Amino acid sequence: MLKQLKASSLLHAVFACLLIALVCFGMLLLASYTSLFQHRALEKTQLQLTNDSALEWQLSKDIFNQEEVQSISVFNDDIETRTKTLDWGFYKIINTKTYHNQDTIRKSVLVGEITSDKTALYITDYDKIQSVAGSVKVIGAMSIPKARFNEKNMQGETTAIYINGITTPSEDKLPNLKDRNLKFSNSYDDEFSIDNISNKILYIHSFDKKTALLKIPDNRFLIGKKLKGNIIIEKLGTLVITKNMELEDVIIKADEIKIESGFTGNLQIIAKNTVYIEEGVQLKYPSSILIEKPKDAATITIEKNSVIMGGIVLQNSNRKTTEKSLIKIEEEALIVGVVYCAGTLELHGKIYGSVYTDRLMTHVENAEYKNLLMNVEIDRSKLPETFVGISLFDSKTEKKTAYEVVKEL
């Protein structure tokens, strides 16, 4: 009986020792995994901080002259970051890739400009005094012919002029625009084809890949589709964007572009001669419209109750096309950002930002009045100080400029 008790006690003791050993081993294993997890988390955090610092370093440089891939060690350690800056319409894309051992952090951001320029209105001096009529409100610096307006009474309507800002004489030309790359020919993804998305409703193409060039055969191809990212949509002739299409961050290119009523999205529009924005369109920030150096007359029309957040640019290369080109912004339309018109501007809506134009023109009851600004509001102060705008002027023209991230892609 005593021997059986001793044997039983010995078995219990061995079991207890094994249990204690297992608990100790488990605690050691847990401590090891906790330490490994903390080390991995610390490495990940360090990679993220290094990647963010590399992005800030790139922003501090003159990134609009940087096209090549650069490899840097931000903190002079063994963590490397590769940065690449790409053209994307009026903006730039900065790609950063930070890597160490088997870990990699990637980030793509859309970059624009914050400028100290406080211009609200600039009108080229063709030796014509500009007139104002009705209710005109201009807040911000102005450069206009002879640094003055003539007040004009139109059809018995009371003229109420409110101007708040420094007024100086303008020059005989608009500020020079910088050259920009709109061809993207060296960045296309050779593996992409229209078949990639023909049977898909949603397609996302990231900016760390080469650009996907989508040449659509007809406007029906895009109906019901959601396209986002590093995509350029091209079409011969007229491209029509309808309200049941969802587009984000893409560029669209065609001879003529029409955005139908009810569409909401953010995109950059590049047309050869005509852009027509119907009523009730919302082009969210950051969006832009560009017609550059048309061969003949060019027109950009923004209908009532449409909102464009970003900028509109009509650029001409000679006097003939400049005299025939027109930007028309209807009543209740709102532009937040900049309007640059190397042609004639017919403004009836509101601009929260800056206007640069060669000429003014207004229609009142089927009568045309040149050099007249009537019933408009141009308010530079309503543009937020942190608004990141489009890159416009060359280095000889541009005021002190800072570069900032518009959005993470």
C-alpha gyration radius of the chain = 30
Q: How many Å from the N-terminal Cα to the C-terminal Cα in the chain?
A: 79
Predicted local distance difference test score (pLDDT) of residue 258: 97
In sequence order, what are the residues at sequence separation of 6 or more whose Cβ sits closer than 8 angstroms to the Cβ of residue 328?
299, 300, 301, 302, 346
Span of 111-115, 177-181, 226-230 with lowest mean pLDDT: 177-181
Predicted local distance difference test score (pLDDT) of residue 250: 96
Contact indicator for 108, 208 with CB cutoff of 8 Å:
yes
Give the whole-angstrom CA distance, residue 306 versus residue 186. Answer: 35
Q: When comparing pLDDT for 397 and 62, which is higher?
A: 62
Q: How confident is the model at residue 234 (pLDDT cuts 50, 70, 90)?
A: very high
pLDDT at 2 over 50: no
Q: How confident is the model at residue 83 (pLDDT cuts 50, 70, 90)?
A: confident
Predicted local distance difference test score (pLDDT) of residue 307: 97
Type of residue numbered 361: M
Closest CA to 228 of 403, 114, 110, 309: 110
- Token pair belonging to 73: 């060690």
Type of residue numbered 174: L
Contact indicator for 380, 119 with CB cutoff of 8 Å:
yes
Sign of the CA dihedral with 150 first, then 339, 388, and 294 last? negative
Mean pLDDT for 245-252 is: 95
Closest CA to 239 of 261, 250, 223, 254: 254
Span of 17-26, 30-39, 82-91 with lowest mean pLDDT: 30-39
Give the whole-angstrom CA distance, residue 123 versus residue 126. Answer: 9
CA dihedral 97, 98, 104, 105 (to 10 degrees): -70
Q: When comparing pLDDT for 45 and 129, which is higher?
A: 129
Give the whole-angstrom CA distance, residue 13 versus residue 83. Answer: 63
- Token pair belonging to 186: 């060296």
Predicted local distance difference test score (pLDDT) of residue 360: 95
243-265 burial code (b ≥16 CB/10 A, e <16): eebbbebbbbbbebbbbbeebeb
Predicted local distance difference test score (pLDDT) of residue 47: 79
Give the whole-angstrom CA distance, residue 139 versus residue 166. Answer: 9
- For the chain, the average pLDDT equals 86
Span of 186-190, 310-314, 384-388 with lowest mean pLDDT: 186-190
User: What is the reported pTM?
Assistant: 0.87
Q: What angle do CA 235, 239, 245 make, to 5 degrees?
A: 110
Q: When comparing pLDDT for 15 and 300, which is higher?
A: 300
Q: How confident is the model at residue 304 (pLDDT cuts 50, 70, 90)?
A: very high
Q: How confident is the model at residue 223 (pLDDT cuts 50, 70, 90)?
A: confident
Predicted local distance difference test score (pLDDT) of residue 37: 65
Give the whole-angstrom CA distance, residue 336 versus residue 352. Answer: 5
Span of 78-82, 250-254, 279-283 with lowest mean pLDDT: 78-82
Type of residue numbered 220: R
In sequence order, what are the residues at sequence separation of 6 or more whose Cβ sits closer than 8 angstroms to the Cβ of residue 324?
296, 297, 298, 343
Closest CA to 376 of 360, 359, 392, 358: 360
pLDDT at 299 over 50: yes
DSSP state of 60: T
CA distances from 329 to 49, 88, 171 (A): 45, 26, 24
DSSP state of 238: E
Q: When comparing pLDDT for 288 and 86, which is higher?
A: 288
Give the whole-angstrom CA distance, residue 92 versus residue 208. Answer: 13
In 212-349, the DSSP E strands lie at: 212-215, 226-229, 231-241, 246-259, 264-277, 282-292, 299-302, 307-315, 326-329, 334-347
Give the whole-angstrom CA distance, residue 360 versus residue 124. Answer: 10
Q: What angle do CA 231, 237, 240 make, to 5 degrees?
A: 60
pLDDT at 320 over 90: no
Q: How confident is the model at residue 63 (pLDDT cuts 50, 70, 90)?
A: low
Predicted local distance difference test score (pLDDT) of residue 68: 66
